[in-house]
Amino acid sequence: MAARPSWRGQIRLALVSIPVEIFPATKSGRSIAFHQVHEPSGQRVRYEKIVPGIGPVDRDEILKGYEVGKGEYVLLDPEEIEKVKLESRRTLELTQFVDLSDIDPIYYDKPYFVVPADDLAEEAFIVLREALKKAKKVGIGQLAMRGQEYVVSLKPCGRGMVLETLRYADEVNKASSYFRDIGDAKPDPDLLDLASTLIDKKASGFDASTFENRYIDALKSLIAEKQKKKGKRVIQDDSPDRPAKGSNVIDLMAALKKSLESAPSGAKAPAKKAPAKKAAPAKKRA
């Protein structure tokens, strides 16, 4: 069964409109689903929609309401909300073009794959993709979907393009309020050199497939262990999660040197050269 697009519409660049479809570029990873259970009875806890003085109500009788005063609501049905007039519901107009490095990664939210909607749209789609690639720019605009309007970025990705929703400025906390207590001291040059060497030794290309969700595996092991013990309490780790009190001063130089000795190299070793012909023995240097 073909995936359903999250959004259908057109990308507009000045007078050019390109029909496109966008699809989620990511999916939910492995997870463990828990239910709330009433321990004495072993029964699952259920939640009902209840109106005070009336009791449980049918879901079909529920509308969205915006509180305009104490206990006073303006009610909106789904069709009214869906029909809100907003051009970005069907059109993504590219209004800015910026360098990729101009966008702080903290603003990125969710990625989507963008493809031409049909064969007729393909030529214009390819032109836009290649123009962005040649200019080394990212297109910026706004798009409405799932009851929200997003700021989005658009950039080339292989044969297609990737659209990423961005957070608004008021959704991002100011870093200065968290970092202001960190001092302005300069690092020791020798320590900095050691840390840089350690980073260089571990440097490699990013490969997401080398990482697995170990927490899910640990939870599954815990569930299996508890099944064997017929529900008896199982505590696998008694150590506190907070760092121990007291001094945490260590010999940083020694720790970095030890890390460097034990660190496996991330980058591939260069190919060995063929052995050179033996030269005449040179005098030993003092």
* pLDDT tens per residue, range 90-110: 999 999 999 999 999 999 999
Q: What CATH architecture applies to the domain 7-26+83-171?
A: Beta Barrel (2.40)
Between 185 and 278, where is the model more confident?
A: 185
Most confident of 19-23, 200-204, 230-234: 19-23
Q: What is the pLDDT of residue 1?
A: 45
Q: What is the rounded average pLDDT of the residues 22-46?
A: 88
Domain ranges of the chain: 7-26+83-171
Q: How confident is the model at residue 71 (pLDDT cuts 50, 70, 90)?
A: confident
DSSP letter (8 states) at residue 26 = -
Mean of the pLDDT values across residues 80-97? 85
Rounded Cα gap, residues 87 and 150, in angstroms: 13
Q: What is the pTM of this model?
A: 0.72
User: What pLDDT shows up at residue 250?
Assistant: 59
CB 236 within 8 A of CB 222: yes
d(CA 137, CA 96): 10
Look at residue 188 and tell me whether its pLDDT is greater than 60. yes
d(CA 161, CA 128): 10
- pLDDT classification of 247: cutoffs 50, 70, 90: very low
